[in-house]
Amino acid sequence: GSSVETLEFQAETRQLLRLVIHSIYSNKDIFLRELISNASDALDKLRLESLTDSGLAETDTTDLHISLEVDPDARTLTVRDNGIGMTRDDLVELIGTIAKSGTAGLLEKLKESKDAATAENLIGQFGVGFYSAFMVADKVTLCTRRAGTDSGTRWESDGEGTYELQAVDGLPTGTSVTLHLKPADSEDGLADYLSESKIRQIVKQYSDFIRWPIRMATERTGPEGEVIRETDTLNSMKALWARPRTEVTEDEYHEFYQQISHDWLAPADTIHMRAEGTFEYEALLFIPSQAPFDLFSRETKPGVQLYVKRVFIMDDCEALMPNYLRFVKGVVDAHDLSLNVSREILQHDRQIRGVRRRLVKKVLGALKDMQSKDAERYTKVWDQFGRALKEGLVEDTDNTEALLELVSAASTHDPEKTTTLREYVERMKDGQDTIYYLTGENRAMVENSPHMEAFAAKGYEVLILTDPIDEVWVDQVPAFDGHRLQSIAKGQVDLDESADGEKETDADKAQREQDFAALLPWLTTTLSEQVKQVRLSSRLTASAACIVGDAHDVTPTLEKMYRAMGQ
Ligand code: ADP
Ligand code: MG
């Protein structure tokens, strides 16, 4: 071979390498994800260039793939691709220096960071990429030949301060990265990366949807003790979200849904979208037909996974879906994020917030659609997730209107059927401008409440709200479609009595007040331990008396709920 040249890493690269080697990352497995993602990018580039660049006519692009090779004796793991490859200068520039802007600033902050979590966070904004190989290897050998050129280059480094370069003949097009593995050390988070099952597990977890085959030679013992050697493709490559909607069948959606949700029922709805422009992403979301048993346990997290260019980044991405939509399952694949992006960064990323806003609108829109087009299905979905959606009325004031449109509630109008607020409003009596409701433990209790009497007598519809959370959201939403929501059990509810022509005249009222002038203060004093005040009411028709709360009082149901929660 030709002579070996020793070059120094750029100072900043050296610092970054030191940080990587001395493991700011707790999760070492991600090195494979990084190398596979680079290989996949290299295959993409070759395919693209081969379409436009006649200089690549000689290059074989018929079997683009990634292969993983294990050599137990040498203790090496190699990630090989037959993609675009690099020239010597590419190597110096791309691997020897960090061309990315902001490196210096990042390193400054890293030095100041006190704990691993902060460091990991900072690095997440940046991405260590190729250098993550040094978390698991004490030496890395990279051989590469750029497509369309004749000579290849061998690059080698222990990640300390220098790397070696050497021109090599006879290399295939593409790149191989060989890791001389450190010994497995579970305390250090170093698994046995020579183990076939470990490699399979990492590929399945992080790289299953990479669009190129990831192959590995495997060996197993057959029924007669013979050794069977096969080449396996480790990834499924089925990233449904990246395909046009028209090319995905309903069955494929269901199968994918089952894979990510472990739910054997078909989803109630599927949302598949693609956003183009400054921040590109694809989203494939599902509204399940049944709530998981733990929907209301404290630990339940949003069910959306984050991918970056088909590489799995994280489960339960709370930055992409608000808590009240935690029942939505699916995948978001964002194209322009670092693979190392952390939860903390995502929470504060302006663009991710934009994505989330859009996804929420999509989900609420899909539910609204279902409500108008397939009421029966919607009713089932509401039964399962209505309570969670009502949390949205408390948490997500940006979408109050959309959420109120979705509310389904029992009502005095029809004992068999629930109503939407919109339907309620359409049935309101002339002159009625308030939506009336009464909360309570169950329908029978609410219906038999003395508060109901006057409303029933006058034919006003009252919503019957029996979910503990109802007490919370009705207090928070100002109005629906301009109509205030008003509890008939709180404060002074003035029925518009002119509607049925029985309005008490001022003289009648004065007379009545005089009749009871002695009784009321006496009752108030006698019951002072139980009530604040006793007053005359026009609400009752059959009962002699009823207890009402102040407009801002905690209701009995809520009181019970708070007590149950130990508050
Ligand atoms: P990133 O992938 O975010 O650019 P990396 O550190 O992972 O950062 O890689 C740095 C660069 O090295 C890549 O952008 C690419 O140009 C080059 N590179 C790395 N691996 C390969 C490969 N297998 N084939 C071709 N080029 C590669
Ligand atoms: Mg990379």
CB 312 within 8 A of CB 208: yes
pTM over 0.90: no
Bin 503: left if φ > 0, else alpha if -120 < ψ < 50, else beta.
beta
Which ligand has the nearest atom to the CA of 92?
Answer: 1
Nearest protein CA to atom 12 of ligand 1, as residue: 94
> Coil, helix or strand for 341?
coil
Centroid of ligand 1 to alpha carbon of 215 (angstroms): 20
**Order of strands across the sheet that contains 152-157:** 5-8, 162-168, 152-157, 137-145, 174-181, 76-81, 66-71, 214-221, 227-233
**Residue 341 is encoded by which pair of tokens?**
């992006």
Distance (angstroms) between ligand 1 centre and the Cα of 308 equals 15
- Determine which residue's CA is closest to atom 1 belonging to ligand 1: 129
Atom 16, ligand 1: which residue's CA is nearest?
Answer: 94
Cα distances from 253 to residues 123, 214, 261, 509, 530, in angstroms, run 35, 23, 12, 67, 60
Which atom from ligand 1 is nearest to the alpha carbon of 83? 24
Residue closest via CA to ligand 1's atom 19 equals: 38
Q: Does an H or E element contain 508, and which?
A: helix 506-515
Query: Ligand 1 centroid to 227 CA: how many Å?
Result: 37
Distance 283 CA to ligand 2 centre (A): 22
Q: Are 534 and 523 in contact (CB under 8 A)?
A: yes
How would you write the pLDDT of the chain (567 residues) with one tens digit per residue? 589 999 998 887 888 788 777 756 678 898 999 899 999 999 989 988 887 787 888 888 899 999 999 999 999 999 999 999 999 999 998 887 754 556 666 677 767 776 766 666 666 556 678 988 999 999 999 999 999 999 999 999 999 889 999 999 999 999 999 999 999 988 888 999 999 999 999 999 999 989 899 999 998 888 999 999 999 999 998 899 999 999 999 988 988 898 788 787 899 999 999 999 889 999 999 999 988 877 887 777 888 999 998 888 888 899 999 999 999 999 999 998 888 888 888 999 999 999 999 999 999 999 999 999 999 999 999 999 999 999 999 999 999 999 999 999 999 999 999 999 999 999 999 888 999 999 998 999 888 888 888 888 888 999 999 998 998 999 889 899 999 999 998 766 666 554 444 556 777 778 877 887 888 888 888 888 888 778 777 666 667 777 777 666 666 666 665 565 554
**Among 84, 65, 40, CA closest to 217:** 65
**Which ligand number lies closest to the CA of residue 37?**
2
For residue 214, report the distance from its CA to the centre of ligand 1, in Å: 17
Cα 330 from Cα 264, distance rounded (Å): 15
- Is the Cβ atom of 132 under 6 angstroms away from ligand 1? no
Residue 127 Cβ inside 6 Å of ligand 1? The answer reads yes
Query: Cα(38) to centroid of ligand 1, in Å?
Result: 5
Ligand found nearest the CA of 100 = 1
Q: Is residue 34 within 6 Å of ligand 1 at its C-beta?
A: yes
Does any ligand 1 atom lie closer than 6 A to the CB of residue 153?
no
Beta-sheet pairing, 408-411 with 414-420: antiparallel
- Segment (H or E) for 233: strand 227-233
ipTM of model over 0.85? yes
Atom of ligand 1 nearest to the CA of 339: 3
Write out the H or E segment, with its range, that includes residue 91: helix 88-94
Q: At what angle do helices 350-373 and 375-395 cross, to 10 degrees?
A: 140
Q: Which of 461, 462, 464 is nearest to 445 (CA)?
A: 464
Tell me the two tokens of residue 89: 């200068």
Alpha-carbon span 17 to 27, nearest angstrom: 16
Angle subtended at Cα 199 by Cα 196 and Cα 203, rounded to the nearest 5 degrees: 140
For residue 130, the CA-to-ligand 1 centroid distance in Å is 7
CB 96 less than 6 A from any atom of ligand 1: no
Question: Which amino acid appears at position 347 of this protein?
Answer: Q
List, for residues 321-373, the tens digit of each pLDDT value: 999 999 999 999 999 888 888 888 899 999 999 999 999 999 999 999 999 99
Residue spans of alpha helices (H) in 349-467: 350-373, 375-395, 400-406, 421-427, 443-447, 452-458
In the numeric block, which tokens belong to residue 523? 């009752």
Distance 85 CA to ligand 1 centre (A): 10
Torsion of CA 64, 66, 69, 75, to 10 degrees: 140
